[in-house]
Amino acid sequence: MALVIALMAATAPPVEAQAAEGVTQFNRACGRCHPHGDEDTGPDIHGKNLSVEAMTKVIRQGTNKMRAITPTKLTDADLEHVIAYLRTLRAVR
C-alpha cells in the first residue's frame, strides 16, 4: 500500500510545481494589473472559470482594454505555468 502511494506520488504530474512557477510568472506578467496576494489592482479574475482556450486567447490576443502578452514577455512554457496557477484561483477550469 505504501509502495503504491509512493509510486503514485512519483508519477503524478507536478501540478503543484507548475502552479508555484506560475505564481512567479503571474506576478511578473499579470500582477501589476490584476489582484494577487494582498494587492488590490485592476479587474479581479478569481473565479472567471474560463476554458484553457479562452484564457490563452485573452492572454495572447488581449481584449479591448488589455494588451496582448506576447511570447517575448511570457513564453509558452511560462504561459502553461500561469494557467496551472490560474486553475488554483478558479480563473481557468
Q: Contact residues for ligand HEC (CB under 6 A)?
A: 29-30, 32-34, 42-43, 45, 48, 50, 55, 58-59, 63-67, 69, 74, 82, 91
Shortest spacing between CB 90 and ligand HEC, in angstroms: 11
Q: Could you give the maximum distance between any two Cα atoms of the chain, in Å?
A: 54
CA distances from 71 to 1, 76, 85 (A): 44, 6, 18
Instruction: Please identify, using beta-carbon distances, which residue of 23 and 33 lies nearer to ligand HEC.
Output: 33
* Whole-number Å distance between alpha carbons of 6 and 1: 9
Least gap, CB of 89 to ligand HEC (angstroms)? 10
For residue 80, give the nearest of 22, 34, 27, 41 by alpha carbon: 22
Query: Least distance to ligand HEC from the beta carbon of 16, Å?
Result: 19
